[in-house]
Structure 1
Amino acid sequence: MSALTATERPTGVAPLRAVRPWTIAVAFGLLATVICAAGSWIPSLWGDEATTLMSARRPVSTLWPMLFHVDAVHGLYYLGMHGWIRLAGESPFALRLPSAVAIGFAVAAVTLLAGRRGGPKAAVVAGIVACVLPRLTYAGEEARSFAFTAAAAGWLTLLLLWLVDGSGRTAPASVRRTCWAVYAAGLALTSYLFLYTASLALAHLAVLLLSRASRPTLRAWLIATGCALLALAPLGLLAFFERSQIGYLADQSTDPLSLLWQPWFGNGWVAVAAWALILLAIGAWVRDRWGRPGATASPEGELPIGATLVGAAWLLLPTGAMLLVNLVFPMYTGRYSTFAAPAAALLIAEGLLVLGRFVARRSAIPAVAATGVGALLFIAVSTPAYLDQRGPYSKNDSDWSEVSSAMASVARPGDAVVFDESTRPSQRPRLAMHTYPSGFAGVIDPTLETPYTHNIGWADRVYTIPQAAARGRFDGVQRVWLVENDMDGSLHHYGLADLEALGFHETGRTVPTHRTMLIELTR
C-alpha cells in the first residue's frame, strides 16, 4: 500500500509549530489563572492581606493621609483594590482573584518570551513550568501586589525585547518613541505597585550590554529609565521616611540555604530541581556563547537575545542588588523577589530543553519525550508545595476564619470581646474581626478607642483594659471572651489579671483554634 499523500494526511491536529504564539500565551494564561484561583478561598487571610482589605475599605479621603504615614509603597495597589471590592465584595476568593488573573498575565508573558527564539515547543514548556512554580502559585492566591509586579515585569521585558531585538527595531521613529514612553510609564507604574520592582532596570541594562545594543538604543533606554526613576522620586522619599515599618526585618534570618529556596521555590525539593535546571541552562548558554563562537550578529554588531540571557539577568541581578542593600539596611524578604519569578520559570524551562537534547543525543529517546518527562517530574515535585499553599492555615499560620466561626458559635449579643494586643500588629487576633466580621456580630468591643478608618495608621487604636474600664466601657457587661494568641500552647495571658480585677472570673470554658484560644469570663 502506498504512503498517504500530503493531501490525504489527517488534518484534525495541526503541528505544534503551526500554533500561533498568542494562542499558546492565552491558553496558558487562562490555565494559570484557574490553577491559582482554585482553592484560593481556603487559607485564612493573614496580616498583610488584612492590611490590604482594611486599606481598601477606607474612603479615599482617609486613604491618602494613611499613605503619607505608612504603606506608601503599596498605595497604588490599595487604590485599585478600593474599587475592586466595591464590585466583587470582600470574600477571600474575591480579594485574591485579581492576583490569580495577574499571574495569568505573567505566565502568558513567559510563554511569549520563551517562544521568541525557542519556538512553540519552548513556549509550551515554559508555560507548564510557570503554571506550577510555587512562588507564582503562591502570589496568585494572595491579596497583595506581588502578582501584579510579576506580570508587569514580564510584559515590560517583552516590550524592551520587541524594541531592541524584534520587529520594533524597524518600526517608524514615531512608533518607537511612543513605545519608549510606554516603557518609561510602565516601569514607573510597576514600581509604584511595589518600589523594589525598579531594580528590574538593572536586568534590562545587563541584557542590553551583553547583547551589544547600539548606542541609539542605549541612549533611548537611559532616557526612558531616567524619566521613570525621576517619577519615582516622591515614592522613594516617602518610603525612606516610612522605613521603620519594615524594621522587623533586621531580626529575620537570611542564611544562604533559605535564600536559595525562599524567593521562588517554596520548598527544598523544588529548589534542588530548579537550581539544577537553571545551572544547566546557564552553563549551556555560556558554552554556546563563548565556548563556540559564531553567534550571528546584526549588521550593527548586535547579538540576538535568547531566553537564557534574559532569565539569568532578570533572576539574579535585581535580587542580588536587594541583598547587597540588605547587608547595610535590612529591607528584604523572599516575597519581594516575586517579580523575578517569571525569570526562574524561563530558566527552568530552558534547562528542561537542554536536558531533553542531551538525553536525545545519548539515547534513542526523542528530545520531545525526554523534555516532556522532565516537565512532568517538575510538576510532581511542585505539587506538594501547591497543596500546602491551599491548606487552611497556610498563610503565616493564620486561623482567623476559624476564630470567627468559633466566636459565632459561643457568643451571645451583649457579650464583650477583648483581644490579645501583645503580639506583632500583623498577628493580633483583633484582625479576625476585620477580616471575618460575621462571627462578631452583636459583640461589644470595649477596648476600641478609634477605628482604623479614622486613624492615620492602618490598625485600630485601643485602650488598655483599665483605661476602658475607667470610661465605663465594661459597665453592664456580664460576660467577656478573651481572645488570646496560643502559639505552641504558650498563652500570653494578656489582660487576664486586669479583667479579674474588674470582677470577671474564668468559667473554665475555653474554645481552642489552630493558634488562638477563646477564654470565657463572667461576673
Structure 2
Amino acid sequence: MSTLSATDRRTGTAPLRAVRPWTIAAVFGLVATIVCAAGSWIPSLWGDEAATLMSARRPVATLLPMLFHVDAVHGLYYLGMHGWIRLAGESPFALRFPSAVAIGFAVAAVTLLAGRRGGPKAAVVAGIVACVLPRMTYAGEEARSFAFTAAAAGWLTVLLLWLVDGAGRTAPASVRRACWAVYAAGLALTSYLFLYTASIAVAHVAILLFSRASRPALRAWAVATGCALLALAPLGLLAYFERSQIGYLGSQPIDPSTLLWMPWFGNGWVALAAWACIVLALGGAAYTRWGRPGRPARPTQAMATPGERAPLAVTATLVGACWLILPTGTLLLVNLAFPMYTARYSTFAAPAAALLIAEGLLVLGRLASRRAGVPAIAVTGAGLLAFVAVCTPVYLSQRGPYSKNNSDWAEVSAAMGAAAVPGDAVVFDESTRPSQRPRLAMRTYPAGFTAVSDPTLRTPYYRNIGWADRVYSIPKAAELGRFDGLHRVWLVENDVDGRLDHDGLTELQALGFEETGRSIPTHRTMLIELTR
C-alpha cells in the first residue's frame, strides 16, 4: 500500500522532499557557473571589458588616483580583478570566470528564495529559469561587476528574509544585531561594487512594509541601511563629480524595449514568454490575497505586538515584484534629472525576474491541475522546457565571436600578427568613441602587435589619470620624429558596414606614405598597408 499523500501523488514531488534546500542551491549554483563559463572565451573582449583589463593591470599606486577621476563606481571590482589576474592571467576565460562564479552564487540565492514557501519543486524550477535567463548568462560571461551585484543583491535578500520572516526572528538578540551589522556591511560593499545597487534598499523596505514587518524589524533595517548609505557618501560624491563620463547616456532613448525587453531578457520572444509568466505570477498572488472570500493571506508564525496587525507571509512573488520593479523604477526616475541609466545597470534585479517567471510556471501548473485535471508537474515542466527552448538561441548567440558589441579585436590582433614584420608601425583610427577605438585591440590582445611600433602613443594608459592611452596627432608625432626611419605603416580603421572612417589616411599620405593596395578586412575593422 502506498504511503504517498494525495498531494504528492498528484504533483509528483515526493522524491524532492528529502532533498535539503542547501543541496539544491549548491547544485544549481554549480550548474549556473558551468553554463556561464562554457564558451566564455569565444567572444572578443569589448570596450567595457577593456576598461576592466587595463584598470586591473595598473599598479595600485596609479589605479587609486585614476578612480578619483573616472570609474569610481567600479573601483572595488577593479581592485579585486587586480589581484585575480595576477593569479589566473589575462585570457578572456580567466577575466570572465569570476563573473561565472558570481552568477552561480546568484542562482543559489534564487533557489533558496523560491524554496522558502514553495518547497523543493519551486526551488528547482527557479534554479533552471535562473540558469538560462539571458541577462544572467550574459553577465556571467562578461568581465564587469554586474554579475557580482546580482549575487550580492540575492544574498542580501536571503539575509533580510531570514531576519524578518525566518529563523532569525527567534535568534538571540546578539545574533540578530550581528546579522543586521552584516546586512549593513553587505549593502555598503555591494554598492561599492556598483553604486546603483544601493537601490535594492527600496525593494527591501517595500517588502517589509507590504508584509507588515514588526516595528523592531523596521527600526533595525532603517539603522542598518542608514549606516550603509552613510558609508557610501564618499563614493556618491565621486560619482556625482564624474557624471560627465556617462553623459552620453542622455542621448539614448528610454522606450518600451529599454523598459521591458533589454534589462533582463535581451530578446523579444524571451521577453514575451517571461512577461506572460510574470503576469501569471502576479495574478495568482493577487487572487490568493484578495480573490477568495474567507481565505485571507496566510500570516507568518511571528506574533504581532499589541496594537500591530499580524505580519503576512513573505512570498517569492512579493519579493520578486518589489525587487524587479522598484529599484529599476527608482533609477529611471533619477534618470529624468541626471542621465545615468542603461539596461545592463539593472542586472542586479535579474534574479527577481527568474523568481517571478518560475512562480508563473508553477501557477500555470496549478491552474491546469484544477481546471483540467492534468498533473501540475507535467504542465509546469512543459512550460519550463518551452522557456529553456526560447532562451537557448539567445545563449548561443551570446557566445559568438562578435557577440560583445560587435567587437572583433581578437581577429584584428591575429591579422596583425600574421601580416606585420619587425620594423613596421601601426596607426589607429582615433575618431570613434573611446570604447570602440581599434587601439584597444592592442591593449586587450597584445600578442599580435609585438612586432610593430606605435609612433602616435603619447602616454600609455597606466601612467594616465584616465583608463585609456593618450595619443599625439599624426602631424605632431611626425614633428617629434616618431615616423623617421619608418617605411611601412599599418593603418587600422573602423569599417562598420563598409563605411571606412579613413581617419589618419590623409595625414600619412602627407608624410609620403602611399597605399599599396593591400588591405585585410576583419568583422568591423580594416587593416590598410602603406609604404614609402
TM-score by length of 2: 0.96
SS at match of 1:446: coil
In the other structure, the counterpart of 2:179 is: 179
How many residues are matched? 515
Partner residue of 1:494?
503
Query: Given the alignment, which residue of 371, 375, 388 partners 1:362?
Result: 371
Match of 1:521 in 2: 530
Q: Secondary structure at the match of 1:485?
A: strand
Is 1:428 matched up with 2:433? Answer: no
Give the AA of the match of 2:182: V
Deviations 1:188-214 (A, max 9, x none): 000000000000000000000000011
Q: Distance in 1 between matches of 2:437 and 2:490?
A: 15
SS at match of 1:263: coil
| Aligned equivalent of 1:296 | 298
Residue 14 (structure 1) shift: 7.7
The one of 372, 377, 380 equivalent to 2:389 is 380
- In structure 2, give the amino acid aligned to 1:54: M
Distance 2:298 2:396 in 1: 45
Give 1:384 shift: 0.8
SS of residue in 2 equivalent to 1:510: strand
In 1, the alpha carbon distance for the partners of 2:379 and 2:2 equals 29
In 2, the alpha carbon distance for the partners of 1:296 and 1:234 equals: 43
> What is aligned with 1:280?
280
1:346 aligns with 2:348: no
3-state secondary structure, aligned to 1:476? coil
Q: What amino acid maps onto 1:241 in structure 2? A: F
- The DSSP-based 3-state class of the residue aligned with 2:527 is strand
The Cα shift of 1:291 comes to: 2.2
Residue aligned with 1:481, SS? strand
Partner of 1:60: 60
- Show the 5 A alignment for 1:250-289: 250-289=250-289
Q: 2:335 aligns with which of 326, 336, 340?
A: 326
Summarize the alignment of residues 79-478 of structure 1 with structure 2, pairs less than 5 Å apart: 79-292=79-292, 293-297=295-299, 298-300=302-304, 301-478=310-487
d(CA) in 1 for partners of 2:290, 2:471: 64
Deviation track 1:47-78 (CA, whole Å, cap 9, x = no partner) reads 00000000000000000000000000000000
2:207 counterpart letter in structure 1:
V
CA deviation vs aligned residue, 1:226-247 (integer Å, no higher than 9, x gap): 0000000000000000000001
- Supply the distance in 1 between the matched residues of 2:156 and 2:259 (Cα, whole angstroms): 26
SS in 2 for 1:15: helix
* Per-residue Cα deviation, 1:320-349 (whole angstroms, up to 9, x for no partner): 111111122211000000000000000000
Structure 1 runs (4+) deviating above 6 angstroms are: none
Q: Where in structure 2 are there 5+ consecutive unaligned residues?
A: 5-12, 305-309
Deviation at 1:144, TM superposition (A): 0.1
Using structure 1 for the length normalisation, give the TM-score: 0.97
Distance 2:318 2:42 in 1: 38
SS in 1 for 2:519: strand
Q: Which whole-Å CA distance do the structure 1 matches of 2:258 and 2:344 have between them?
A: 12
List alignment gaps of at least 5 residues for structure 1: 7-12
Cα 1:365–1:438, aligned 2, differ >3 Å: closer, same or farther?
same
Helix, strand or coil at the partner of 1:199: helix
Partner-residue secondary structure (3-state), 2:136: helix
Go from structure 1 to structure 2 and tell me whether the alpha carbon gap of 1:213 and 1:62 turns closer, same or farther (over 3 Å shift): same
| Separation of aligned partners in 2, 1:235 and 1:189 | 11
Q: 1:518 to 1:274 in 2, by over 3 A?
A: same
TM-superposed deviation, 1:5: 8.8
**In the TM superposition, what is the alpha-carbon distance from 1:299 to its structure 2 partner?**
2.3
Instruction: Tell me whether 1:504 sits opposite 2:503 in the alignment.
Output: no
Q: Secondary structure at the match of 2:403?
A: coil
CA drift of 1:4 comes to 7.7
Letter in 1 for 2:303: P
* 1:9 matched residue in structure 2: none
CA distance in 2, matches of 1:473, 1:57: 27
In structure 2, distance between residues paired with 1:249 and 1:390: 26
Q: Which residue of 2 aligns with 1:10?
A: none
SS in 1 for 2:41: coil
Which amino acid is 2:147 matched to?
Answer: A
1:376-435 CA distances to partner (integer Å, 9 max, x unpaired)? 000000001101100000000000000000001100011000000000000000000000
When the two chains are superposed, the root-mean-square deviation of aligned CA atoms in Å is 1.1
1:294 Cα offset (Å): 1.6
Structure 1 residue 296: deviation in Å? 3.0
What residue number does 1:485 align with? 494
Shift of 1:287: 1.4
Secondary structure of 2:475's counterpart equals helix
Quick one: distance in 1 between partners of 2:188 and 2:445?
35
Cα offsets for 1:151-210 (capped at 9, x unmatched) = 000000000000000000000000000000000000000000000000000000000000
